[in-house]
Amino acid sequence: MKPRCFVDPAEWARESIRLRAEDAHHLTDVLRAEVGTEVTVGDGRGGEAQGEIAEIGPEGGVVVRVLGRRPHGAADWRITLVQAVPKGERMEWIVQKAVELGAWSVVPVMTERGVVRLEGGRADNRVARWQRIAVEAAKQCRTAWVMRVEPVVDLSQWLGATGRPGAAVVGSLDADARPFRNVCAGLRLQPPGDVAVLIGPEGDFTPAELAAAKAAGATPVTFGRRVLRVETAALHAVSVLAYELGVMAAE
């Protein structure tokens, strides 16, 4: 398989593309690529260019000559995972697998019962790391789309924001939660668009947060009788939505 890299859209549009330093290093020092090696270069927004290495500079810089381009259409449904940030490295794993399963974006949120508290530069650094993980996951699963990791916000901010997905579900342990499969069946009857799935922290959403989510239009759903860990609930929700809404078949 051809090596795959992602560059900024402005760079991707040129006939000669200069790769980022980390991609150039991987090609020349790890894969031992040479002038003439064929590569695929994407813009992360559905555009792919087939090319070949035209130049390897003395300090490892790599320039790719474009041989042809083609666009890839996005899925009709775009899934946003609104994830309360869990402790440890589980968010990194969630981001990686969400890319593989076809999520469009991830919104890391702070909640009342969340163990991890992120703000300022610490939050920015963590988001930058998660975005790098998303890029590497996109290379691995050979998709033309790089999932966006949004800035960290409080759950209340996200619920009150304009422009968020119109359809939303929230994982809930309450008695009024509807079976997830039934809600997915209802979504399939609607015109395609954006859908969000909200997953709480280790201690779950508070009653007030759940009420706010419902007031904002999110449908409480249950994933079954078993109580799932945060990362399991997140990836179960994304994978079921992607399957039921045909996201994985779009590419």
Weakest-pLDDT range from 110-119, 171-180, 201-210: 110-119
Cβ atoms 250, 194 nearer than 8 A? no
| 88: confidence class by pLDDT, cuts 50, 70, 90 | confident
Task: Give the burial class of 156: count Cβ atoms within 10 A of its Cβ; 0-12 exposed, 13-18 middle, 19 or more buried.
Answer: middle
% the chain with pLDDT above 90: 49
197 falls in which pLDDT band (50, 70, 90)? very high
- Single-letter residue type at 95: V
Residue 8: half-sphere exposure toward Cβ, Cα within 13 Å: 4
Mean pLDDT over the full length of the chain: 89
- Is the pTM higher than 0.85? The answer reads yes
- Domains in the chain, CATH or no CATH each: 4-71 (2.40.240.20), 78-244 (3.40.1280.10)
Q: Are strands 105-110 and 153-154 parallel, antiparallel or unpaired?
A: parallel
**pLDDT exceeds cutoff 70 at 251:** no
How many angstroms separate the CA atoms of 163 and 168, rounded? 13
pLDDT of residue 238: 96
pLDDT (0 to 100) of residue 249:
56
Q: What is the pLDDT of residues 130-148, one digit of tens each?
A: 999 999 999 988 888 899 9
